[in-house]
Structure 1
Amino acid sequence: MPKTKKQGIIFGLIMSYAMAYGMEVYNTAIKDGFSLRLGGFSTMTNHVFLQALLEALYMGVFVFIISNLWGNRFGANFAQKVVDPQKDNPYFCRLMRQVGTVAIMCPSMSMVASILFNVILAHQAIYNLPAIWVGTVLKNFPMAFFWNMFAAAPFTHWLFEKIYPN
């Protein structure tokens, strides 16, 4: 875990871009027609990974800014209310912080994405924003939760420990 301000920034950047890329792969695939169907998956093509990388380059900046403004703080406050670091397993404490952070970051980033991709780029009427935002949160929350728990956070911790060994 980060011990200095510089390490905190590096950790935050790795996590921000790991989350942004995973969510962009997911949303690009859905936009391109990938879905679960009864009896199997529809086809996903390799261009999804490049398109997601291009979008993650700028979406990662939004993730980093929002997580530093309020996402991490609310995640830490949530964890503080439900765990006792003196008694609880450190891994459980870390998971509860992740849960709290995802619970704030997913609606926040869904609002950014709704405004950027639907209102600004797709020219949908601004009065549709509440419905677009709720639909985006409902679509993204399960993926954000599981991507964070099982991919982005483990990858971030692994890479951070490679950069800053104990």
Structure 2
Amino acid sequence: MPTNKKEGLIFGSLMCFLMVLGMSIYNLVIHNSFSLVALATGLVPGFVVAFILDNFVVGIVAKKIAFSLPINKESKLQLILTISTFMILGMVTFMSLFGMLMEGGIPADFLGTYLKTWGMNLIAAFLYQLLIVGPFSRLVLGWVQNNAADDSAEEAA
């Protein structure tokens, strides 16, 4: 877990970018419209929106909910899984709507299309976050934290 704002920014940005990248590729592939141009076109606005939602809406609410639940907060695994679950639920809820609007506006069967989109994105995002992006981002964060500790030890010597 990040221990300061710099680590939080690195961790959050990496996690956000990788999730937007992976989910963009997933959605383009399942809609048979993958191209590097389509990926690049959607990636920047998707990352900006996801970063804002993550840092100012969903992340705050997800952490409040997670810390209010009767879980063992001393257990890193329980805390990570709880926060991640609420983050995934919130981000999929907003980003599915964002993707639909970017793709073609509000469809005639909005509710049906949204629920289908939300369900398909939830499954993919949950697996992608818990199995790939989360562990990778925590690995990078650990590397950043270890390098910061090494730098501090060298400065003290």
Q: TM-score of the superposition, structure 1-length normalised?
A: 0.77
Q: Mind listing any 5+ residue stretches in structure 2 that lack a counterpart?
A: 150-157
Superposed, 1:121-140 pairs within 5 Å as: 125=107, 127-140=108-121
Of 21, 39, 60, the residue aligned with 1:73 is 60
From the two aligned structures, give the one with the greater helix fraction.
Answer: 2
Superposed, 1:32-111 pairs within 5 Å as: 32=32, 48=34, 50=36, 53-54=39-40, 55-80=42-67, 81-86=69-74, 89-111=75-97
Q: Which residue does 2:141 correspond to in 1?
A: 160
Aligned pair count reads 145
Q: Mind listing any 5+ residue stretches in structure 1 that lack a counterpart?
A: 34-47
Percent of aligned pairs sharing the same letter: 23
Shift of 1:111: 0.9
Comparing 104-113 and 57-66, the one that deviates more: 57-66
- Report if the CA contact (8 A) 1:110-1:137 is conserved: yes
Q: TM-score of the superposition, structure 2-length normalised?
A: 0.81
**RMSD of equivalent CA atoms:** 2.1
Q: 1 or 2 for the larger relative contact order (CA 8 Å, sep ≥6)?
A: 2
Shift of 1:85: 1.1
Q: Which residue does 1:25 correspond to in 2?
A: 25
- Report if the CA contact (8 A) 2:72-2:78 is conserved: no
Q: Which residue does 2:153 correspond to in 1?
A: none
